[in-house]
């Protein structure tokens, strides 16, 4: 993959026809180092956030080799990582996927949230005695910008019996939950960890692992949450109250926070109508969340020679498909001079960007490059490593 020092440098060599996904793998290394140094347990990467090979490679090189996977395709994408540990945490899986995961890919860790799913996992692994089973519990997602509740999770009433049943057949037993994506209040984790503590006491089952899921926030113009450190402090405090704190492994499964800043998309303006720009990527491409989740991504003009123009005008964007819901209200603040033929860099699209793109209207394909400059809203200190104890000092 071609490497450039910045988007403007790339554009001084090429005028790409397709939108360009610009990867910054160096930011993944920093984010991984921060999590490994600051989370008091095992750090898994939720491959669903971005399973591009350079991202997976950068995580593995930085020391993250455990993956939360949701499907056989994700398993195949990460199975090549040396010593990969795979956690099949989708609470509802097909029988075929369970069987192939167990037999072909050596997966031994599975989530379930019902009697039926537990039976399915046991059936398809032939009653294996080497499984780690994670009971996914339902929990409130009130502190997250993308709630995931309602679909999965055993209720407080169902959970004790399911734990007891799984205890009979699992080699190791865990509890897992998800507070919702882009959780912006540290208490989100503490509240559910206390719920986990009550479940352990009420069921009388001493679990071996508590997996607190993903949900750690990234920085966006519309949501600049408290430092990740305060999330870790809350988690440590709440985990310390668990009855099983001395014997229990803690795990987390961040997706977004590890990779949000690792990609920008460089788009071309194909038309301007008033303060609305028509660009060549959009809601059905890497910018789904800007259309459907109320996200605002940082944007800047990167046409060579025009980069220093003052950003002073609020624009809305339309993507390239003929669907009028392909609309990104923003606002995206850009120089007033932006017009047809210009290029924009839209940042922080590394999480749930490329993985949500589809081929609607024939769009949704990208060129790819590596950029070595800093992301638009960096969260982790440049040069950050295990000794780094400061999250997000580098405000853009």
Ligand X SMILES: Cc1ncc(COP(=O)(O)O)c(C=O)c1O
Site for ligand X in 53-82 (CB under 6 A): 68
Alpha helices in the chain (DSSP H): 7-13, 25-38, 53-62, 72-78, 95-105, 115-124, 159-169, 187-203, 228-240, 256-259, 288-292
Site for ligand X in 94-123 (CB under 6 A): none
214 counts as binding ligand X under rule CB under 6 A? yes
253 counts as binding ligand X under rule CB under 6 A? yes
User: Applying CB under 6 A, which of residues 8, 22, 29, 49 lies at the interface with ligand X?
Assistant: 49
Q: Residue 124: phi, psi to the nearest 5?
A: -75, -15
Half-sphere exposure of 218 (CA within 13 A, CB side): 32
Each residue 172-201 as x (binds ligand X by CB under 6 A) or -, in order, gives ------x--x--------------------
User: Applying CB under 6 A, which of residues 186, 254, 282, 364 lies at the interface with ligand X?
Assistant: 254
Between 35 and 284, name the residue whose CB sits nearer to ligand X. Answer: 35
Closest CA to 83 of 107, 65, 106: 65
Cis peptide before 207 (omega within 30 of 0): no
Contact 26, 372 (CB under 8 A): yes
**Count of residues interacting with ligand X (CB under 6 A):** 18
Task: Kindly state the smallest distance separating residue 229's Cβ from ligand X, in Å.
Answer: 17
Contact 179, 144 (CB under 8 A): yes
User: Applying CB under 6 A, which of residues 23, 46, 238, 279 lies at the interface with ligand X?
Assistant: 46
Task: Kindly state the smallest distance separating residue 222's Cβ from ligand X, in Å.
Answer: 16
Between 74 and 345, name the residue whose CB sits nearer to ligand X. Answer: 74
Site for ligand X in 333-352 (CB under 6 A): 351
3-state SS record for 160-216? HHHHHHHHHHCCEEEEECCCCEEECCCHHHHHHHHHHHHHHHHHCCCCCEEECCCCC
Give the span between the Cα atoms of 317 and 287, in whole angstroms.
11
Give the span between the Cα atoms of 132 and 128, in whole angstroms.
10
Task: Kindly state the smallest distance separating residue 223's Cβ from ligand X, in Å.
Answer: 13
289 counts as binding ligand X under rule CB under 6 A? no
CA torsion angle 21 313 326 18 (round to 10):
-30
Q: Binding segment for ligand X among 41-49, 321-329, 362-370, 378-386 (CB under 6 A)?
A: 41-49
Q: Which helix (H) or strand (E) holds 272?
A: strand 263-273
364 counts as binding ligand X under rule CB under 6 A? no
Give per-residue burial for 10-35: e unless 16+ CB within 10 Å, then b: bbeeeebebbbbbbbbbbbbbbbbbb
215 counts as binding ligand X under rule CB under 6 A? yes
Between 59 and 266, name the residue whose CB sits nearer to ligand X. Answer: 59
Between 89 and 135, name the residue whose CB sits nearer to ligand X. Answer: 89
Q: Binding segment for ligand X among 53-61, 254-262, 339-347, 364-372 (CB under 6 A)?
A: 254-262
Query: What's CA 285's distance to the chain center, in Å?
Result: 17
Task: Kindly state the smallest distance separating residue 91's Cβ from ligand X, in Å.
Answer: 8
Task: Kindly state the smallest distance separating residue 147's Cβ from ligand X, in Å.
Answer: 11
Between 7 and 257, name the residue whose CB sits nearer to ligand X. Answer: 257
Between 108 and 300, name the residue whose CB sits nearer to ligand X. Answer: 108
165 counts as binding ligand X under rule CB under 6 A? no
Give the span between the Cα atoms of 39 and 26, in whole angstroms.
20
Between 193 and 301, name the residue whose CB sits nearer to ligand X. Answer: 193
Question: What is the total residue count of the chain?
Answer: 396
132 counts as binding ligand X under rule CB under 6 A? no
Place of tokens 């209040």: 185
51 counts as binding ligand X under rule CB under 6 A? no
Place of tokens 């994700």: 74
Give the span between the Cα atoms of 74 and 113, in whole angstroms.
21
Q: Binding segment for ligand X among 26-34, 209-217, 290-298, 325-333 (CB under 6 A)?
A: 209-217
Task: Kindly state the smallest distance separating residue 198's Cβ from ligand X, in Å.
Answer: 22
Question: In the complex, which residues of this chain contact ligand X (CB under 6 A)?
Answer: 46, 48-49, 68, 89, 148, 178, 181, 213-216, 253-257, 351
């Amino acid at each position: 993959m071609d490497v450039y020092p910045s988007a403007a440098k790339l554009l001084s060599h090429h005028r790409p026809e397709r939108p360009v996904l610009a990867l910054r793998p160096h930011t993944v290394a920093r984010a991984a180092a921060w999590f490994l140094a600051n989370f008091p347990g095992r750090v898994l990467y939720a491959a669903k956030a971005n399973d591009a090979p350079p991202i997976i490679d950068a995580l593995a090189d930085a020391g993250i080799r455990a993956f939360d996977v949701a499907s056989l395709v994700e398993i195949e994408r990460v199975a090549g990582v040396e010593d990969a540990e795979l956690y099949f945490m989708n609470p509802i899986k097909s029988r075929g996927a369970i069987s192939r995961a167990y037999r072909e890919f050596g997966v031994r860790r599975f989530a379930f949230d019902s009697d039926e799913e537990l039976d399915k996992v046991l059936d398809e692994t032939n009653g294996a005695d080497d499984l780690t089973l994670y009971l996914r519990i339902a929990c409130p997602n009130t502190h997250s910008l993308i709630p995931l509740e309602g679909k999965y999770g055993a209720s407080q009433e169902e959970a004790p019996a399911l734990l007891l049943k799984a205890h009979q057949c699992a080699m190791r037993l865990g509890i897992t939950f998800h507070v919702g994506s882009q959780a912006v209040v540290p208490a989100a984790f503490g509240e559910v960890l206390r719920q986990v503590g009550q479940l352990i006491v009420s069921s009388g089952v001493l679990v071996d692992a508590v997996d607190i899921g993903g949900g750690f926030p990234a920085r966006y113009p519309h949501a600049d949450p408290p430092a990740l450190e305060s999330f870790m402090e809350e988690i440590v405090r709440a985990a310390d109250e668990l009855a099983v704190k001395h014997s229990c492994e803690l795990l987390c499964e961040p997706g977004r926070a590890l990779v949000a800043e690792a990609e920008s998309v460089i788009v071309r303006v194909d038309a301007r109508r008033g303060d609305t720009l028509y660009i060549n990527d959009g809601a059905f491409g890497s910018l789904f969340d800007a259309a459907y989740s109320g996200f605002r991504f940082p944007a800047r003009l990167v046409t060579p020679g025009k980069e220093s123009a003052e950003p002073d005008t609020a624009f809305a964007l339309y993507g390239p498909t003929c669907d009028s819901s392909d609309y990104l209200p923003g606002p995206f603040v850009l120089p007033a001079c932006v017009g047809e033929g210009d290029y924009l860099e839209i940042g922080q699209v590394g999480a749930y960007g490329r993985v949500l793109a589809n081929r609607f209207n024939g769009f949704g394909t990208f060129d790819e490059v590596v950029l070595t400059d800093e992301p638009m809203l960096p969260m982790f200190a440049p040069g950050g490593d295990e000794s780094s104890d400061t999250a997000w000092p580098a405000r853009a």
